[in-house]
Amino acid sequence: MRTSDHGISLIKSHEKLRLEAYSDPGTGGEPWTIGYGHTGGVRPGDVITEEQAEMMLQSDLDDFERAVESLLPIELSQSEFDALVSFTLNVGAYSLETSTLRKRLLADEPRCWVYQKELPRWNKGRSGVLQGLVKRRQAEADLACLGYLSGPFEATAEPALGYLSGPSEVIAEPVEEDVVAFPLDVPYFYQRDSKTGHGERMCFSSAMAMALDYVDPDAIAGDDDWYINHVFKYGDTVSSAAQMAAAESLGFDVEFHTDGTEQHLLDQLDKGIPAPVGVLHKGSVWHPTGGGHWITLIGYDEKYFHVHDPFGELDVIYGGYTKAGPADGRFQKYTRENLMKRWLINGSGADGWWTEIKSGNKW
């Protein structure tokens, strides 16, 4: 396989073009780098042309493409391959070879889960976490994940990637009309890091903020903390009336329902719109309990709902949260059968609590 133009754009957007040698930002010294992240034989004071930078990049790509194919003898989509080449060019073939990422991919673990868990771990230099690496790893994870989920080992058209990686860092290809690729590229907000003092009880606001920010990013002037402070103008964060009034004041046409069916959720997701839903998150799936918890559905397949859970990773079978870190709730996959048991409580098949987002300012 060869790196696509899409993958090369991703690499260039993070490496940037440098025609004079510079020291590694993680070490303050070696390895010295030039062009688009080229390090081989580079010394302080070296200067090259843009044409030479392109030749160096192509040579590096040849090496790291062979490394990825050799170390990961599994069938990869074009987007997965592009992301893995970008990663390996940045950290080196030896790092890929010895990585838990490689071990988990070869063990045939669910790939999207592996990419979202393992790639973001590679974000540090000698001085600690580097924000440039944080953004690059997330862009690579999103690209790999979307490539894997878009179809059986083929890279279909992709939506804009990497909400954490900033605008225009990856140029998206046009999406075929009426086709929705799951999971939707919805921003993730973690309720427990809130600076409002309401982190433990703001799941409704966090779930709504994620969905609304995806529908119209210009309407949400911040994260879930910004949104919950806006909700407080209309009532308490747990109030559905306050939530609807806050959303409507921002230009959204929304309705709160207590008679939802699974088909309602599928219909909303098929339109490319996230679906905030309220579930019972405590107790076993056979006897769910609790005062309720809000999550945001961002896609589905035959077996799973793809979910952003603002609290962490829900134990859908036995209830509660065994993982509740800042990224544990991102891109979760909860089985449809069990999640519906926590959403359709009375057994009627039509009593789910959810928010229907009909339109926003941009529609």
Q: Shortest CA distance to 178 belongs to which of 247, 314, 287, 271?
A: 271
Q: Distance (Å, rounded) from C-alpha 21 to C-alpha 9?
A: 21
Residue 30 near residue 40 (C-beta atoms within 8 A): no
Phi, psi of 347 (to 5 degrees): 80, 5
Whole-angstrom distance, CA of residue 202 vs CA of residue 339: 20
CA–CA separation, 278 and 10 (whole Å): 37
Residues 6+ apart with CB under 8 A from 231: 205, 237, 242, 243, 246
CB atoms within 10 A of CB 103: 12
State how far the Cα of 77 lies from the Cα of 80, in Å rounded to an integer.
Answer: 5
Overall residue count recorded for the chain in this entry: 363
- Mention every residue, 6+ apart, whose C-beta is less than 8 A from residue 246: 208, 227, 230, 231, 233, 234
What is d(CA 42, CA 343) in angstroms, rounded to the nearest whole number? 59
Alpha helices (runs of H) in the chain, residue ranges in sequence order: 5-15, 50-71, 78-91, 93-98, 100-106, 111-118, 131-149, 203-215, 224-231, 240-249, 262-270, 336-343
**Which residues, 6+ apart, have CB-to-CB distance to 85 below 8 Å?**
3, 7, 11, 61, 64, 65, 68
- 15 is a catalytic site residue: yes
User: Among the options 15, 80, 140, 158, which is catalytic?
Assistant: 15
CA dihedral defined by 89, 123, 203, 332, rounded to 10 degrees? Answer: 40
Which residues belong to the active site? 15
